[in-house]
Chains A and B, each alone.
Chain A
Amino acid sequence: NAGVMQNPRHLVRRRGQEARLRCSPMKGHSHVYWYRQLPEEGLKFMVYLQKENIIDESGMPKERFSAEFPKEGPSILRIQQVVRGDSAAYFCASSPSRGHEQFFGPGTRLTVL
């Protein structure tokens, strides 16, 4: 049973470009959570999605960031017009139902030059 998959593991973008981060939840999981980890910090919750629905986006920056979890395919975290402050590790977690334990992926390290 494969765990949560994230790709790419490392992503380098120049300022102003777009970054797309992908997350495939564990088999049987339909709930996805995105977190951001800045250097020397703990993880910060960004958004919680179920298939085709954003349930809680209270931690998402108001501009440039968006997330989706389509009926088919992985969940996508999209960052438009990246800035150096977006450099961080982005983690995805999944769970089989709301309130259940969250299982984390290996993360995507985004570097903005």
Chain B
Amino acid sequence: DAKTTQPPSMDCAEGRAANLPCNHSTISGNEYVYWYRQIHSQGPQYIIHGLKNNETNEMASLIITEDRKSSTLILPHATLRDTAVYYCIVRAYSGGGADGLTFGKGTHLIIQP
């Protein structure tokens, strides 16, 4: 699987846009970029995913660079409830090996009042 690099922590003021970067410079052509978040004591929550086009849903926007080596998750109007660990994951199919998603350590986003 392609490795991802995220800052360990970030702060953002409530009401502002939170922009979470992710580097995945070794991504290959058939791998999707997924974003999940985990609020303390809960299961990971799916946010959004994409291949090469920018994506938007009711939770967030995903901006993927043209060379696909990095992406940014945007929470347009952060609230205190968005405080969580955010995981950027590149998903690959390994054929006969382990399936699923490989989680790294993510970015701890803290929304400040």
* A and B held together in a complex: no
